[in-house]
Amino acid sequence: MSKICTADEAVALIGSGQSVASAGVIGWLTPDDLLAALGRRFRANGTPRDLTFFFPVSVGDALGIKGMDHVAIEGLMKRVVSGNYLNSVDPQTGRRPEMMRLIRENLVEAYCWPIGATMHWLREVGRRGPGYLTSIGIGSYIDPRQQGGKYTARASEDLVRLHSIDGREYLYYPTWPLDVAFIRASSADEHGNLSFEDEPITSATLAMALAVKACGGTVIAQVRKLVPRRGRLVHEVRVPGELVDRIVIAPDQLMTTGIRHDDRYLGRQIFDGRATDRLPLGADKVIARRAAMEVKKGVVTIFGFGASSDVPTVMMEDGAFAGDGLLDFSFTTEHGPFGGVVMSGWQFSANKYPEALIDGPAQFDFIDGGNCPAAALAFAQFDRAGNVNVSRFGAANPGPGGFIDIAYNARELLFTGTFTTAGLDAEVGEGRIAIRREGKVRKFVDRVDEITYPLLQNLHDRGQKAKLVTERAVFEVTPEGLVLAEVAPGVDVQTQILDLMAFPPHHILDPLPRMAEALFRD
The catalytic residue positions are: 334
Residue 515 DSSP symbol: P
Q: How far apart are CA 403 and CA 399, in angstroms?
A: 9
Which residues sit opposite 7 in a β-bridge?
Answer: none
Counting every residue, how long is the chain? 522
Omega of the bond prior to 200 within 30 degrees of 0, cis? no
The answer to whether residues 220 and 23 touch, using CB atoms and an 8 Å cutoff, is: no
Residue 371 half-sphere exposure, CB side, CA atoms within 13 Å? 15
Q: Which long-range contacts (CB under 8 A, 24 or more apart) does 513-517 make?
A: 513/485, 513/486, 513/487, 514/486, 514/487, 514/488, 514/489, 515/286, 515/290, 515/473, 515/474, 515/486, 515/487, 515/488, 515/489, 516/290, 516/293, 517/431, 517/432, 517/489
Omega of the bond prior to 373 within 30 degrees of 0, cis? no
Which residues sit opposite 243 in a β-bridge?
Answer: none
Amino acid letter at 506?
Answer: H
Q: How far apart are CA 377 and CA 356, in angstroms?
A: 22
Q: Tell me how many degrees the CA angle 246-252-256 measures, rounded to the nearest 5.
A: 95
Q: Reduced to 3 states, what is the DSSP secondary structure of residue 151?
A: coil
